[in-house]
């Protein structure tokens, strides 16, 4: 490579400092030993001369690969792309590149993928995973591999987490629906083995109690996955019970989209007969008919924060773990309205 010819010595000569200084600047672990002014000059010249470090030699010297593994359940789920972009934008700005993989929530595949990433000596892992006690997490802890968990929130003191304040989100939804006059609620939760499913489930129950709404366990369903198919299935089950309810709260927009289908098949109108709410505000939600009232989760910001935490930890291994929950916001659209004929949907 042409640029391969440019050496640290060439840069030192051009800048007028010792090669050791250039070397310190180009090594993120020793950079802080050099004055900002010199750092700027060295980096400018290095760029101008098209200097390219040999990451293998660099890796041997600093034992850093300048890569961070990112593992999500499935990036074709519209919940994840904004988060991944937030991670990537933030990492790239600091000279790191993300290694990306999808786990499908499958422990075997997750283990394979994380092994592949550890084999590449990723400097850290940003991942979404169901619990603090998965083999993968334990293996990473054993390796002392820096971890940041996204879209999940645990109380594990050893691992940084970036998630959403689902207690607030569910509170906002219930407040809105009760304000519209709803008293009879049904609820479809996401998988309870995921903190997002669990937190929204309990958040909804707590909010219902807080607003003095009857909690009818018989009108609670749990979807096997955050997708339309399971949402439709659960909605049909709830409707077939013949119990009247005017508001259907769901754990995600995709679950809500499935409920739209179940209602359509039975000729039940939304919002006239039943109001429906989602969670996440994926792009689809604004286009559903009626457009979906939902909770916007700041996913890009979540990814950016996760990457920021990772960089802090990489620059200073003594950084203690942090737990951040981003506050979501209520998006009022067309799918939730005042109950007009609360009985309509009890005809089955």
> Which residues are near a second copy by CB under 8 A?
1-2, 52-53, 55-56, 59-60, 65-67, 69-70, 74-76, 78, 81-82, 84-85, 88-89, 92, 95, 97-102, 112-113, 115-121, 142-143, 257, 283-284, 287-289
Cβ of residue 225: shortest distance to a second copy, in angstroms?
A: 15
Work out the angle at residue 341's Cα, subtended by the Cα atoms of residues 337 and 342, and round it to the nearest 5 degrees.
85
Rank residues 77 and 183 by Cβ distance to a second copy and give the closer one. Answer: 77
Tokens of 116: 């592949």
Radius of gyration of the chain (CA): 25
Cβ of residue 154: shortest distance to a second copy, in angstroms?
A: 24
Cβ of residue 323: shortest distance to a second copy, in angstroms?
A: 26
Long-range contact set of residues 29-33: C-beta below 8 Å, sequence gap at least 24: 29/62, 29/64
Measured over the CA atoms of residue 92, residue 94, residue 100 and residue 106, the dihedral's sign is: negative
Write the CA distances from 66 to 110, 127, 310, integer angstroms.
22, 17, 12
Largest CA distance in the chain: 85
Cβ of residue 174: shortest distance to a second copy, in angstroms?
A: 26
Rank residues 101 and 159 by Cβ distance to a second copy and give the closer one. Answer: 101
User: Are residues 204 and 178 in contact, defined by beta-carbon separation less than 8 angstroms?
Assistant: no
Rank residues 18 and 52 by Cβ distance to a second copy and give the closer one. Answer: 52
Rank residues 98 and 197 by Cβ distance to a second copy and give the closer one. Answer: 98
Rank residues 102 and 195 by Cβ distance to a second copy and give the closer one. Answer: 102
Tokens of 82: 């904004």
Cβ of residue 121: shortest distance to a second copy, in angstroms?
A: 6
């Amino acid at each position: 490579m042409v640029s391969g010819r440019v050496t640290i010595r060439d840069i030192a000569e051009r800048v007028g400092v010792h090669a050791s200084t250039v070397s310190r600047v180009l090594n993120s672990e020793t950079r802080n030993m050099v004055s900002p002014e010199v750092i700027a000059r060295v980096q400018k010249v290095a760029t101008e001369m098209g200097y390219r470090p040999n990451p293998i030699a660099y890796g041997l010297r600093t034992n850093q690969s300048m890569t961070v593994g990112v593992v999500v359940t499935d990036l074709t789920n519209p919940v994840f792309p904004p988060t991944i972009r937030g991670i990537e934008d933030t990492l790239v700005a600091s000279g790191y590149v993300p290694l990306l993989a999808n786990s499908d929530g499958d422990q075997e595949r997750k283990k394979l993928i994380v092994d592949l990433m550890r084999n590449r000596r990723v400097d850290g892992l940003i991942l979404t995973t169901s619990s603090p006690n998965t083999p993968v997490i334990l293996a990473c802890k054993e390796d002392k591999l820096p971890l940041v968990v996204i879209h999940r929130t645990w109380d594990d003191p050893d691992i940084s987490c970036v998630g959403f304040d689902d207690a607030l989100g569910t509170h906002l939804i219930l407040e809105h629906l009760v304000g519209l006059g709803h008293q009879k609620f049904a609820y479809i939760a996401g998988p309870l083995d995921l903190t997002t499913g669990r937190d929204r489930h309990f958040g909804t129950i707590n909010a219902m109690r807080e607003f003095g709404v009857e909690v009818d366990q018989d009108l609670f369903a749990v979807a096997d996955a955050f997708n339309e198919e399971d949402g439709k299935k659960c909605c049909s089950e709830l409707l077939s019970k013949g119990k009247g309810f005017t508001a259907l709260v769901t754990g995600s927009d995709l679950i809500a989209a499935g409920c739209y289908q179940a209602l359509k098949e039975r000729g039940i109108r939304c919002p006239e007969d039943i109001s429906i709410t989602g969670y996440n505000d994926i792009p689809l939600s604004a286009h559903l008919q009626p457009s979906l009232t939902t909770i916007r989760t700041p996913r890009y910001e979540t990814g950016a924060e996760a990457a920021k935490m990772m960089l802090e930890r990489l620059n200073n291994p003594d950084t203690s773990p942090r737990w951040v929950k981003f506050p979501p916001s209520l998006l009022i659209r067309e799918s939730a309205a005042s109950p007009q004929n609360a009985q309509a949907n009890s005809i089955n």
